[in-house]
Amino acid sequence: METSVKVKDVIVLGGTHGDEMSGVCLVRKWLNGSPLTAKTCEVIPYLSNVEAIKLCRRYKDCDLNRQFTEENLKSVLADTELSYEVKRAREMNEKFAEMNGSTFILDLHNTTSNSQVCLIVEELDGFSLHMCRYIQQAFPKGVCRIWILGGSVEYGDTRCMVKRGIAIEVGPQPQAVVRADIMDLQEKAVNLSLEFIDKYNQGVCFDSCQIEGYKTFIKIDFPRNSQGDIAGMIHQNLQDQDWKPLTRSSTVFRRFNGDDVTLGDVIDDVGVEESVYPMFVNEAAYYEKGIAFHLTNKVHMSLPALKLE
Amino acid sequence: METSVKVKDVIVLGGTHGDEMSGVCLVRKWLNGSPLTAKTCEVIPYLSNVEAIKLCRRYKDCDLNRQFTEENLKSVLADTELSYEVKRAREMNEKFAEMNGSTFILDLHNTTSNSQVCLIVEELDGFSLHMCRYIQQAFPKGVCRIWILGGSVEYGDTRCMVKRGIAIEVGPQPQAVVRADIMDLQEKAVNLSLEFIDKYNQGVCFDSCQIEGYKTFIKIDFPRNSQGDIAGMIHQNLQDQDWKPLTRSSTVFRRFNGDDVTLGDVIDDVGVEESVYPMFVNEAAYYEKGIAFHLTNKVHMSLPALKLE
């Protein structure tokens, strides 16, 4: 049995990336006359990267969702020497990190990949893993997946402020566009998160269980030419096929000269004896990071029962 | 019978908008070892907005595809006083406009709307209208539409440099992403354009005919609140339904509070007794222009036969 403290506040972040419009529009809606509420805690909708939202870009100077590092948050540099996003991370951390130890973060994201609903969670966060399973079970089979981040690695993402939280990543949606179908999936996932928290806060016990998730073991870049420009694209067989199993013989790229490239052509043998699962296939923001898609393994985790302490 | 001069040069522009990736990737491919050729004329692939392509944004300072105006091209201001795109328009115009009077422009674009292949052409350009019909007939029914720009209005677009040309707009594709299916449609349309020019240059006569096209009669903005932020989104019934007929009772928006909005709610009676046809539905770049979609009428035009003079 795992026990934990009551959740007193839920911060729901939209626009951590300024051109991911479901979160931006939902938070604005909740701030302007259609408040987001829960029975047992306070809910605080909040726009993260205000300048990037104005520009309708992912970020102004750098990716806000990597700036919540200890180094940045404790920086002794004057504000004038810091990028906008580092300053913003410090502002947000001052506002939220010290509220109390019982705050939860829901961070709303979009992707151009056909992820459907993808819940992003740390593997050591038993509370959030239970929440992810609760959300997943309320969607039709195959609509909601759980992407598990490994162990003690900290990415400097927004969840670093309060230690407990998940990101809700929904796609496919182009950058700078809001689609009704994608916003509906996003809003449903948020409402399910709050429903879970209310039940937990009211003393409901969540039984021990198994969850199925995905863990990235390698990130695959596009084929590139000597100038560093991409020399091929996601193969039509792989486009929109996030979470569908691949083997070494699956075609994953088509070079611009017409040649097909298989998965076996781009990775070593390591770990690809069995099926592997692609995610973030053709995510626009990952071109500059050198990522055409992630390759994941399917994993199963046992969760102990969970109850309010 | 309409006659015209031989086409000596075809300029194929990619990256007039820097984040519309099919054109950028195709032009790079043609410049690097897979040349684009025709039998009867020179073909010049060219990257338009070089700085925006580097940034992977639509533009750096302003929309290049509106800067080829007489005012800009003849501006007496020094370069240092001009925006990047005005300077670039002048550079391109110096390079291309004086080549000769027998140059043709193909300008490659993408949209996040479900346009499929949309050929953009001026209604007074009989040569290009014949080309559009030729391209359209080589695609399966319903894949390729012709959008006709009215009369003598000049938009300051790239085609203003040489007087004859079309834009080939293909979607849906997110900004900053390249999709194999969309690139294939784009490349097929380009190859058909060159095939048409070769036939024309070789003396083939194109018979008089009728073409079906679409003409915009109004641009519809999103519902907005008092701060100017959007207060609703494209209704799920309209999303991805470019070119499908609408009537006054069709739902076109869903406000964030859940209320449906019909076409009749947002426009006056003018011109909507019969079916009208939406295009550019949820195009990312048009949010800042205040355009949620275009409403068009279907039109039929008679073309006289066309032959080399």
- Residues A16 and A40 occupy one common structural domain: yes
- Residues B9 and B150 occupy one common structural domain: yes
Mean pLDDT value of segment B190-216: 97
Q: Mind telling me how many Å the CA of A229 is from chain B's nearest CA?
A: 9
A286 is known to lie in a ligand binding site: yes
Determine the Cα angle at B81 with ends B79 and B84, to 5°: 65
Q: Which of A177, A229, A233 sits opposite B180 (nearest CB)?
A: A233
Mean pLDDT value of segment B34-58: 96
Position B191 pLDDT exceeds 90: yes
Contact between A175 and B180 using a beta-carbon 8 Å cutoff: no
Contact between B179 and A234 using a beta-carbon 8 Å cutoff: yes
For residue B27, give the chain A residue with the closest CA.
A256
Position B86 pLDDT exceeds 80: yes
| Residues annotated in a binding site of B | 17, 20, 58, 65-66, 109, 155-159, 169, 286
Per residue in A175-205, pLDDT (tens digit) is: 999 999 999 999 999 999 999 999 999 999 9
What residues of B are in contact with residue A282 (Cβ under 8 Å)? 177-179
Contact between B233 and A288 using a beta-carbon 8 Å cutoff: no
Contact between B112 and A177 using a beta-carbon 8 Å cutoff: yes
- Residues B119 and B230 occupy one common structural domain: no
Q: Mind telling me how many Å the CA of B113 is from chain A's nearest CA?
A: 10
- Residues B30 and B95 occupy one common structural domain: yes
- Residues B108 and B244 occupy one common structural domain: no
Per residue in A214-242, pLDDT (tens digit) is: 999 999 999 999 989 999 999 999 999 99
- Residues B207 and B227 occupy one common structural domain: no
Q: Which of A175, A254, A256 sits opposite B174 (nearest CB)?
A: A175
ipTM: 0.94
Mean pLDDT value of segment A31-51: 95
Higher pLDDT, B265 or A33: B265
User: Is A98 buried (19+), middle (13-18) or exposed (0-12) by CB count in 10 A?
Assistant: exposed
- Residues A13 and A34 occupy one common structural domain: yes
- Residues B124 and B248 occupy one common structural domain: no
What residues of A are in contact with residue B25 (Cβ under 8 Å)? 230, 233, 256
Quote the number of domains for chain B.
Answer: 2
Cα dist from A33 to A29, A37, A179, B242, whole Å: 7, 12, 21, 32
Q: Mind telling me how many Å the CA of A152 is from chain B's nearest CA?
A: 33
In terms of DSSP H, where are the helices of chain B?
21-31, 50-55, 70-73, 84-96, 126-138, 180-201, 263-266
Whether residue B243 contacts residue B145, with contact meaning beta carbons closer than 8 Å, is answered with: yes
- Residues B149 and B283 occupy one common structural domain: no
| Residues annotated in a binding site of B for Zn(2+) | 17, 20, 109
- Residues B11 and B126 occupy one common structural domain: yes
Element (H or E) spanning A196, and its range?
helix A180-201
- Residues B207 and B254 occupy one common structural domain: no
Please tell me the predicted confidence (pLDDT) of residue B270.
56
Q: Would you list which residues of chain A are within 8 Å, Cβ to Cβ, of chain B?
A: 25, 28-29, 32-34, 56-57, 112, 172-181, 183, 225, 229-230, 233-236, 239, 254, 256-257, 282, 284-285, 287-288
Six-digit token string for B193: 């354009």
B79-111 as b/e: b if 16+ CB within 10 A = eeebebbbbbbbebbeebbeeeeebbbbbbbbb
3-state percent breakdown (helix, strand, coil) of chain A, nearest 5? 30, 30, 45
For residue A53, give the chain B residue with the closest CA.
B229
Least confident of A38-42, B201-205, B274-278: B274-278
Higher pLDDT, A76 or B230: B230
Per residue in B129-159, pLDDT (tens digit) is: 999 999 999 999 999 999 999 866 678 999 9
CATH number for the domain that contains residue B198: 3.40.630.10
For residue A292, give the chain B residue with the closest CA.
B177
Please tell me the predicted confidence (pLDDT) of residue B282.
98
Q: Which domain holds residue B49?
A: 2-212+304-308
Report the relative pairing of strands A116-122 and A165-171 from DSSP bridges. Answer: antiparallel
Share of chain A above pLDDT 70, in %: 97
Report the relative pairing of strands B251-255 and A251-255 from DSSP bridges. Answer: unpaired
Per residue in A42-66, pLDDT (tens digit) is: 999 999 999 999 999 999 999 999 9
- Residues B253 and B132 occupy one common structural domain: no
CATH number for the domain that contains residue B284: 2.20.25.160
Catalytic residue at A71? Answer: no
Please tell me the predicted confidence (pLDDT) of residue A268.
76
A66 is known to lie in a ligand binding site: yes
Q: Would you list which residues of chain B are within 8 Å, Cβ to Cβ, of chain A?
A: 25, 28-29, 32-34, 56-57, 112, 172-181, 183, 225, 229-230, 233-236, 239, 254, 256-257, 282, 284-285, 287-288
| Interface with chain A: mutation pick from B178, B182, B225, B283, highest number of A CBs within 10 Å | B178
Contact between A178 and B239 using a beta-carbon 8 Å cutoff: no
